[in-house]
């Protein structure tokens, strides 16, 4: 399936994000034990911190990936910083015992790149869209493919005109 226009909005507040990240930690707590978290920057930084706090994980590594965007369409992916071999080699060199966290999976392209580095790791995101679901092991909330998720760190306060003004004229 192609990624369709994402014209529906799913705005997420800080409270919602904290609650959903805690729910992810709860779910993960019964799915295994991890020696380290690898968070996919930048979106994975916030949920990784919350999950690490809940699960008592203190080894936190990053994999830094940039995608070149044209507003909401994704271009090629570039790995700016790979995963430290010390984390890859914690167990078998393939990611066993490692939890990889991101804020969401959309097309699954980002997780696919990281899965090639750590095929045996456990992959978790807070939100997921249907095309990306096969790439993630654990997530909390699924939204439709034509939805854009607005994260609290990307948002600001803005005056909202009353409905009567929006529809007038």
Binding string, residues 125-164; x marks residues near ligand PRP by CB under 6 A: -------x--------------------------------
Answer for the pair 29, 52: CB distance below 8 angstroms, yes or no. Answer: no
What is the smallest separation between the CB atom of 65 and ligand PRP, expressed in angstroms? 6
CB contact burial 91-114 (16+ within 10 A = b; e otherwise): eeeebbbbbbbbbbbbbbbbbebb
Give 53-56 contacts, CB < 8 A, sequence gap 24+: 54/22, 54/25, 54/26, 54/29, 55/25, 55/28, 55/29
In the bound state with ligand HPA, the residue whose beta carbon lies nearer, of 123 and 151, is: 151
Contact flag: residue 43 with ligand PRP (CB under 6 A):
yes
Conformational region of residue 39, where left means phi above 0, alpha means psi within -120 to 50, and beta covers everything else: beta
Contact flag: residue 95 with ligand PRP (CB under 6 A):
no
In the bound state with ligand HPA, the residue whose beta carbon lies nearer, of 95 and 132, is: 132
In the bound state with ligand PRP, the residue whose beta carbon lies nearer, of 5 and 33, is: 5
- Give the angle 12-14-18 at the CA atoms, nearest 5°: 100
Contact flag: residue 106 with ligand HPA (CB under 6 A):
yes
Sites of contact with ligand HPA (CB under 6 A):
104, 106, 148-149, 151
Binding residues for xanthine, as ranges, are 106, 149
Binding residues for 5-phospho-alpha-D-ribose 1-diphosphate, as ranges, are 42-43, 102-110
């Amino acid at each position: 399936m192609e990624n369709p226009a994402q014209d529906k909005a799913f705005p997420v507040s800080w409270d919602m994000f904290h609650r959903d990240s805690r729910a992810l930690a709860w779910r993960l707590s019964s799915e295994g034990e991890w020696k380290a978290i690898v968070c996919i920057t930048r979106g994975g930084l916030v949920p990784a911190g919350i999950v690490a706090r809940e699960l008592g994980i203190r080894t936190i590594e990053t994999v830094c990936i940039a995608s070149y965007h044209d507003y909401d369409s994704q271009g090629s992916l570039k790995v700016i910083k790979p995963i430290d071999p010390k984390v890859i080699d914690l167990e078998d060199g393939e990611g066993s015992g490692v939890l990889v966290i991101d804020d969401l999976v959309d097309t699954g392209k980002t997780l696919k790149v990281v899965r090639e580095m750590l095929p045996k790791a456990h992959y978790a995101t807070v939100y997921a869209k249907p095309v990306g679901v096969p790439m993630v092991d654990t997530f909390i909330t699924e939204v439709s493919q034509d939805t854009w998720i607005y994260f609290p760190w990307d948002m600001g306060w803005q005056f909202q005109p009353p409905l009567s003004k929006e529809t007038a004229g």
